[in-house]
Structure 1
Amino acid sequence: MSADNRDGLEGSGLILASGSASRKAMLEAAGVRFEVASPDVDERALEAEMADAEAEEIAQALAAAKAADVSALRPGIAVLGSDSLVEVEGRRFDKPESREQAAEHLRFFSGRTMTLHSAAALAQDGRIVWVGSDFARLRLRELSDAFIESYLDAEWPAVSYCVGVFRIEGPGVQLFSSVMGDQFTVLGMPLLQVLAALRERGLLPE
């Protein structure tokens, strides 16, 4: 596990078990003080074990696994894990492994509705103490091959780290004709639920 302690935040009482830039940005914008640590979790293996489970359950399990992994090494500190899964017409999608696969995903998404499941979990001393999740539905417009190539010219490899092959806060917004759901869920974490859970545990002021 590697850790990246931000200036002035040592001993803040919260660790974010994620390298996601959007999740870090959400917490920072909300005024939450935290450290960052990278979990060591085989996400694909866990997904394979839960192949028959609902997407929401898998997202929750992944978030919990990340939180528990870091928490086991940092006793006494609350750890926040988070994960997102995309589902389109009953088929689940992970982060693309190559630009070619990213283009394949986008061609499949074209003209369809994507369900994005975002989950979060808090762990303390290696034990999960809270889990939450939410979903959003995003309607993709019809995407031409020319658009897909120009989009990936601009966004690859940044979107290789993004389930759904988009950053909604960037050019990825051009993929969609409508978005139904909480903006934070679309960004990758049910932030309002997380903030409530942190307040309940005394990590944020009431």
Structure 2
Amino acid sequence: MHGIAQPHDHPPLVLASTSVYRRELLQRLRLAFSVRSPQTDETQLPSEAPREMALRLAKAKASAVASFEPGAWVIGSDQVCACEGRVLGKPGSHDAAAAQLRLLSGRESVFHTAIALVAPDGRTQVQEVPTRVRMRLLTDMQIEAYLRADQPYDCAGSAKSESLGIALVEAISSDDPTAIVGLPLIALCNMLLAAGFPVLGSAA
């Protein structure tokens, strides 16, 4: 999937992710880009904190794709949801999603969204943008109704805040409203500009 065309002499921009959500977010910047799967093991390391896990995986994804895309600008991102010290991954099934929402009901969770940018010269920037989410007290009936409607089985935390999942939320706090969806665009723009990538100069 690509955005607006860039100058031919500009190094290509590559998103190290096959996530539909991240691709749609990156399209907001109206930049031409390609996507490539990083094929990265996302297993949590022993005693690894959620924030450190997100930072490590974002960098690993960007570095993995950069090794196959010489001369490109490569973006990697990872999101880890944690509630009361427990990491919540993508549920993958209805029953697992229902269990996650019962755990999150009435509680605050933190979505640690990390982003990494590898420049054509190999320089790498990495940043984490936390988002605090407090869920409403949810009944089993509400959970079932929501899951049937949104089917968020590929989303950590089992709720799509950009869709009906916002109805489950009591409050969201973050410095970047796009971080919760999976790709913090404010942080990405800051990184691209700091590295000399003309974000606005390449957009229509």
The alignment's TM-score, normalised by the length of structure 1, stands at 0.87
Instruction: Identify if the C-alpha distance between structure 1 residues 151 and 12 changes in structure 2 by more than 3 Å, giving closer, same or farther.
Output: farther
User: SS where residue 135 of structure 1 aligns?
Assistant: strand
For residues 41-190 of structure 1, the aligned pairs below 5 Å read 41-44=40-43, 47=44, 50-124=45-119, 127=122, 129-156=124-151, 159-181=152-174, 182-190=176-184
Change (3 A) 1:32 1:8: closer
Identity across matched positions, percent: 34
Q: How far did residue 12 of structure 1 move?
A: 5.4
Structure 1 residue 174: deviation in Å? 1.0
Letter in 1 for 2:159: F
The CA distance in 2 between the partners of 1:145 and 1:139, in whole Å, is 17
2:123 and 2:94 mapped to 1: Cα distance?
Answer: 36
- Whether the aligned pair in 1 keeps the contact of 2:90 and 2:154 (CA below 8 Å) is yes
Structure 2 vs 1, CA of residues 30 and 125 (structure 1 numbering), >3 Å: closer, same or farther?
Answer: closer
Which residue pairs with 1:198 in the alignment?
192
**Shift in CA distance, 193/5, structure 1 to aligned 2, threshold 3 Å:** closer
Q: Give the Å deviation of 1:68.
A: 1.1
**SS at structure 2 position matched to 1:96:** coil
Is 1:40 the counterpart of 2:34? The answer is no
Q: What is the root-mean-square deviation in Å for CA atoms of aligned residues?
A: 2.1
Q: Secondary structure at the residue paired with 1:160?
A: coil
Unaligned residue ranges in structure 1 (runs of 5+): none
Residue 124 of structure 2 aligns to which amino acid in structure 1? V
Native 8 Å contact 1:68 1:126 kept in 2: no
Moved more, 23-32 or 5-14: 5-14
Question: Structure 1: which amino acid aligns with 2:179?
Answer: T
Could you tell me how far 1:51 is from its partner in structure 2?
2.8
User: Closer, same or farther in 2 for the Cα pair 1:14/1:149, shift >3 Å?
Assistant: same
Distance in 1 (CA, whole Å) between partners of 2:14 and 2:40 is 16
Alpha-carbon distance, 1:63 to partner: 0.7
8 Å contact kept, 2:136–2:169: yes
1:114 is matched by which residue type in structure 2? S
Judged with a 3 Å threshold, the aligned counterparts in structure 2 of structure 1 residues 22 and 167 are, in CA distance, closer, same or farther, namely: same
The separation in 2 between residues aligned to 1:61 and 1:30, in whole angstroms, is 25
CA distance in 1, matches of 2:100, 2:25: 26
How far apart, in 2, do the equivalents of 1:57 and 1:128 lie? 20
